[in-house]
Structure 1
């Protein structure tokens, strides 16, 4: 088996068997491609089936000198997945990375936004501009429903079930879930739809897409990042903020106000409750308040 064929087969497996998104497939592929380039640069003859533990240890050692521990851990994890696939398909008997441990990482938790900061970001939107109402609806939806960026950009009008109080979200691996929508978020989406979107010339490919760019097409992930970045600067917020910060804030604020962790897990679309716990970290002040309020020996 050649590397390029092995990678192509792996990509098909990730797409068809695992049901991963194109972005996830690209990320997994990059890990294998790094190894392929390193073998080629160092003129090492080794196929996916014959490559040894020693060769991979040398590769990881050299990469470790160039990247941070988190990137190193991600690379090891990605390559282990590739070789596990080869075992699954009976190309190999063992995983040559089985004994290579990834560096231990602490939890890296992004900044969250206080409710006042979210209000400041929304207040920074120029509602008199062409995209003002759309951008307000975008921020309200990101925060009000805890969506990933890709889930927001792919949101369809046919996914809106306002009468039932839900929207249908297609998440990772094309898995669908129903997320409750608040009256406030529903109101701003409706304003955008009825007063702005209805007057746009819409590309035939985007007739059912909710949020559109100035050309009547689906917004890109990069455009959402740009919108948020500009508003952060305008509002004078000195934090590292991305669209994902609204999702993190959504979960954190729900938990801090007494929401059940399992309910938050369902709304976020996490398979594992452990992932939800990472997103919904609590600061020490809040933990102290919980102890003081609920412990029998106050």
Structure 2
């Protein structure tokens, strides 16, 4: 005869819910490091933590995380399982980047991870092999002609102009505050950017007009100082990075363009600057790249200077 277990008391339920999870605690500390020290965006942090969580739960299975017990063979087997038989370059790069990031964090914690780092091979890709994808001038006109639309037409138009005219990332657009705009000086101050700096950018006239139109005619009175708001559960809250990307993607689809987010518009701005004769240093300053190496890809678009590179063909008049 089966015995019926007595109902658990509230205290027993509470105690079981408070069972410590060392791996969850480790991931929480790692995420804090990525946010506070590395300054990574929320989406990047989630992706890193997701990959690292799979490694830790496979190896330690809910127990204490002890990096000394993690071997190079464990890392290699994990990577092989993640990528399968036909890994793409992007998938391999994501896994390698996340694991290296976590091992750098463990180095800060005092662990020796040289043998583990050596087990992570970099996916092969020729540097600067491809051209940056950007909108052509006629496509830019199609995009702007497709706006404004929807329930928040002025907000959508202003968001697209921030990405297209100023090269702002989706997270930077989401974090804009009303106080960041100096209308008298014609500038925008960015705080908490990817580079963890405070940057002051000029506010283009077209962008300023779009923002002013949104603030005067569409943004409802709200105690929040966030520039862009969205409706959630019958209340207005600051817009999220994900929502900004969706606004741009929907605008691109409406114009019959590639389904892309803010980075497509950043590339478009950079290509326009190069085409107008701006130096790579000037492009790097506008896009706020931490290293000029990141901007080198746009050198391939400077056709007049590239024509000076080839050597004379043998036998031809030089």
TM-score (norm 2): 0.77
Task: Name the CA distance, whole Å, in 2 between partners of 1:212 and 1:16.
Answer: 25
Unaligned ranges ≥5, structure 2: 1-21, 313-317
Q: 1:213 aligns to what SS in structure 2?
A: strand
The partner residue of 1:131 within 152, 171, 177 is 152
Task: Name the CA distance, whole Å, in 1 between partners of 2:299 and 2:238.
Answer: 33
What's the C-alpha RMSD, in Å, of the aligned pairs?
3.2
Residue in 1 that maps onto 2:78: 59
Task: Name the CA distance, whole Å, in 1 between partners of 2:101 and 2:115.
Answer: 9
The partner residue of 2:218 within 170, 186, 196 is 196
Q: 1:217 aligns to what SS in structure 2?
A: strand
Report if the CA contact (8 A) 1:84-1:95 is conserved.
no
The partner residue of 1:213 within 209, 217, 230 is 230
Residue in 2 that maps onto 1:164: 185
Report if the CA contact (8 A) 2:148-2:157 is conserved.
no
Q: 1:178 aligns to what SS in structure 2?
A: strand
Q: How many residues align?
A: 286
> Offset of 1:4 from its aligned partner?
4.1
Task: Name the CA distance, whole Å, in 2 between partners of 1:251 and 1:243.
Answer: 13
1:290 aligns with 2:311: no
1:274 aligns with 2:293: yes
Task: Say if 1:236 and 1:6 are closer, same or farther in 2 by CA, change over 3 A.
Answer: closer
Task: Name the CA distance, whole Å, in 1 between partners of 2:306 and 2:271.
Answer: 18
Task: Name the CA distance, whole Å, in 1 between partners of 2:46 and 2:102.
Answer: 13
Q: How does 1:181-260 map to 2 (within 5 A)?
A: 181-197=203-219, 200-202=220-222, 204=223, 206=224, 208-214=225-231, 215-237=235-257, 239-260=258-279
The partner residue of 2:282 within 221, 242, 263 is 263
Report if the CA contact (8 A) 2:245-2:262 is conserved.
yes
Report if the CA contact (8 A) 2:23-2:64 is conserved.
no
CA offset digits 1:244-276 (Å, max 9, x no partner): 211111111111211121222122221111122
Between 1:97-106 and 1:157-166, the stretch displaced more is: 97-106
1:101 aligns with 2:124: no
Report if the CA contact (8 A) 2:176-2:227 is conserved.
yes
Task: Name the CA distance, whole Å, in 2 between partners of 1:17 and 1:52.
Answer: 27
CA offset digits 1:206-262 (Å, max 9, x no partner): 2x221223553322233333333333233223x242222111111111112111212
Unaligned ranges ≥5, structure 1: none
TM-score (norm 1): 0.82
1:119 aligns with 2:141: yes
